[in-house]
Amino acid sequence: MNDLVWIFISALLINNFVLSYFLGLCPFLGVSSRLDTAFRLGLANIFVMLITALCAWLLNTYVLIYAPYLRLISFIVVIASTVQFIEMVIKRLSPALFRALGIFLPLITTNCAILGLAIFATNRGYGLAEGLVFALGAGAGFTLALVLMAGIREEVALADVPVLLRGTAMNLIIAGILSMAFMGFAGLFSGA
């Protein structure tokens, strides 16, 4: 049990996917200009990550022991098609949920955070429960980083920033400072 909590906290804060593994930077920089969009993208991301963890576990346990060299290709194909399938199901069952998350789902599937999650979970030999907790932590960490960034950017939009610095350069420097702040979490469990 303790292990699962540790995996969750580690993926959420200490090894935050965005701020210390640099995964999922494209949406992090692209879709973080408004708070509510950022939050919804984060939720959609948690959702896709949970599905990914499940798919990766199924593939690793039942298929890839016979053909390990197909790992990368099968991860991509299976994850992308599963997400697309679930997208269609949601559209039928819950149009409200689809409107909230739907437009982001295809975007997220090709995101490196998703593939990274599957690969990390495989490399560390996580079982099903560990994989799901890891996905939940990583997704929540991604949402946290995205929401923090969007909050800061909404404030910065009102500030008088030099013309040259506007856009990506500014966002990267903000991300650098956020990442520095998150480094403070590194000592979280070592003292206890």
Where do contacts with other proteins occur on this chain (CB under 8 A)? 19-26, 29, 69, 71-73, 76-77, 80, 110-112, 114-116, 119-120, 123, 163-165, 167-173, 175-177, 179-180, 183
CB of 169 to other proteins, least distance (A): 4
Query: Quick count: other Cβ atoms within 10 Å of Cβ 9?
Result: 16
Q: For CA atoms 18, 21, 79, 26, give the dihedral sign.
A: positive
Full DSSP string of 85-149: HHHHHHHHH-HHHHHHHGGGHHHHHT-HHHHHHHHHHHHTT--HHHHHHHHHHHHHHHHHHHHHH
Of residues 32 and 171, the one with the C-beta less far from other proteins: 171
Of 147 and 174, nearer to other proteins (C-beta) is 174
* Direct distance between the N- and C-terminal alpha carbons of the chain, in angstroms, rounded to an integer: 17
In this structure, the chain runs to a length of 192
| Min separation Cβ 96 and other proteins, Å | 29
Q: Measured from the CB atom, is 85 or 99 closer to other proteins?
A: 85
Q: Which is nearer to other proteins, 18 or 132 (CB)?
A: 18
CB of 141 to other proteins, least distance (A): 13
Torsions phi, psi of 157, nearest 5? -60, -25
Question: What are the distances in angstroms from CA 98 to CA 39, 48, 53, 70, 88?
Answer: 15, 13, 21, 32, 9
- Whole-number minimum distance, CB 147 to other proteins, in Å? 18
Residue (5 or 173) nearer to other proteins, CB: 173
